[in-house]
Structure 1
């Protein structure tokens, strides 16, 4: 259901490595959500670093949306980077675990997307 890897990098270093790998693999970084900072701004202490990177490849997004525009509700794909017990993790919910449940016609295109996302993460660790 999820693809998760540990890294010796801290959260910020992992985010920077992901940013580079995302670009090198033909995807774009749409936004970084710094969850720790967002919660702190609302006076909620998370107690760990957590950032979420929204990524997209426009041609693939169009292909997906041409098949089923309703799945726009779960786009773009998100990769999280977080600390837990002194270890940094990079994690993504496997697109193959979600998209085909919504529309089985997405299976083939999502398989390609998933392989690239795993490659992005593996290159960043």
Structure 2
């Protein structure tokens, strides 16, 4: 999703929207700072948020402990020219592609669909709330 808002405002609204959908941020990776510090590479703002909904995570892990390989759900916020991009990994594609084709766990399908719906709702909320600030 592309929004015409500043990076910091987008990150702030994304955090709120994810929390409203039951997600907490377990990890945060500032790729811009990391690549600059480690490789002296300059790049646009790029943040990876590892979002986790504990209820969904517990349900998925109870169904199949291998799900831990795919947790948390990554959401990326990055600048692109004069806009900010927000992108989220699709839990259904991740689980179905990596795990579910090897197991018949209906609960994993249900959890993946609910996680997808909640992430999509969070992104839609961000898009609606952000005024045009660029």
Q: TM-score, normalising length from structure 1? A: 0.89
Aligned pairs for 1:74-113 (under 5 A) are: 74-101=70-97, 102-103=99-100, 104-105=104-105, 106-113=108-115
Q: How does 1:1-125 map to 2 (within 5 A)?
A: 5-101=1-97, 102-103=99-100, 104-105=104-105, 106-125=108-127
Counterpart Cα distance in 1 of 2:8 and 2:117? 24
| CA positional deviation for 1:75 | 0.2
Instruction: Give the drift of 1:24.
Output: 1.5
Runs of 4+ in 1 over 6 A off after TM superposition: none
How many angstroms apart in 2 are the aligned matches of 1:12 and 1:33? 15
Distance 1:46 1:25 in 2: 34
Q: Distance in 2 between the 1:73 and 1:8 partners? A: 34
Counterpart in the other structure of 2:132: none
Deviation of 1:85 after TM superposition, in Å, equals 2.7
Structure 2 unmatched runs, 5+: 128-134
- Listed as ranges, the gaps of 5+ residues in structure 1 are none
Larger CA Rg, structure 1 vs 2: 2
8 A Cα contact 1:11 1:50, kept in partner? no
Contact 2:4-2:82 at 8 Å conserved across structures: no
Taking only aligned residues, the RMSD between alpha carbons, in angstroms, comes to 1.4
